[in-house]
Structure 1
């Protein structure tokens, strides 16, 4: 008898919700007619979230290959939304900085994201929504700690 995975386990649920949120956000961004494609919006948003960061770390944070984020950064830089500056700790590396124009673009995207979050939370009490967010933060912290421990053990071996 084949083993069947529970379609409502935490991994599937998070993946499904992520996929649906991303697809709807992409649709809304495209419908808004912004000068950015949805991937560029994700890159800009993560760059703002991370602060000045190296391109390779930004790619890791987004979950894409370095070449993918590099192409997106090229487009964002051409639009004046980000700047790449030499990293004083390693001149070969570049740090990504969001410009004032990039911040303004993110401000125009915020209402789109807020509307999507409101729709996603429809029918959920504010207290339950906050507990949900707090739980996700704890799960993220647990998984980050497990990843860090695994890296330490690998480095020690």
Structure 2
């Protein structure tokens, strides 16, 4: 079926869904008294997934500028959820890791995130939902490959 308007294209739909998920996550975490932004939650979940990680690698993983990430980490450090320590392989670099408090707050966010995912998938056949996710993963990999190819071309020219 053809898109009915420009706002029903892939990019608009994906951006709308992402915006709505962020808004719902912000609302539900505030309602639960967690006092975290979606950006802070993304940092916590990624650090939990990777274990201690360099700030530069985390910024790249999140697709944010180093200064933006630094502000998020400052706030999370102030809340006692993460800590920065020198990287043993390069003392100039800092590793970000979760504290016990960070691990605890991630455990509180997980059921909220699961409920939002469930709400987003309501009325969609589970097999169809898995196909949607698989297609989105392929699309993400295609876009990563484009960026990688573009950066390789830039490096070759430089």
TM-score interval, smaller chain: 0.7 to 0.9
1:78-134 CA-partner distances (Å, limit 9, x unpaired): 333212122234322212112333122111100100110110001101001111111
The corresponding residue for 1:148 is 148
SS in 2 for 1:36: coil
**Aligned residues of 2:29 and 2:35 also touching (Cα < 8 A):** no
**Aligned residues of 1:40 and 1:72 also touching (Cα < 8 A):** yes
Instruction: Compute the displacement of 1:35 (Å).
Output: 4.3
In the alignment, structure 2 segments of 5+ residues that lack a partner are none
**Distance in 1 between residues matched to 2:63 and 2:145, nearest whole Å:** 18
Computed over aligned residues only, the root mean square deviation of the Cα atoms, in angstroms, reads 1.9
TM-score by length of 1: 0.86
The corresponding residue for 1:70 is 70
CA change 1:139–1:38 in 2 (3 A) is: closer
Deviates more, 1:108-117 or 1:30-39: 30-39
TM-score by length of 2: 0.86
**Distance in 2 between residues matched to 1:53 and 1:62, nearest whole Å:** 12
In the alignment, structure 1 segments of 5+ residues that lack a partner are none
SS in 2 for 1:85: strand
Q: After the TM superposition, which residues 77-96 of structure 1 pair with which residues of structure 2 at under 5 Å, given as runs? A: 77-96=77-96
Q: After the TM superposition, which residues 8-157 of structure 1 pair with which residues of structure 2 at under 5 Å, given as runs? A: 8-157=8-157
**Distance in 1 between residues matched to 2:132 and 2:141, nearest whole Å:** 14
**Distance in 1 between residues matched to 2:37 and 2:149, nearest whole Å:** 37
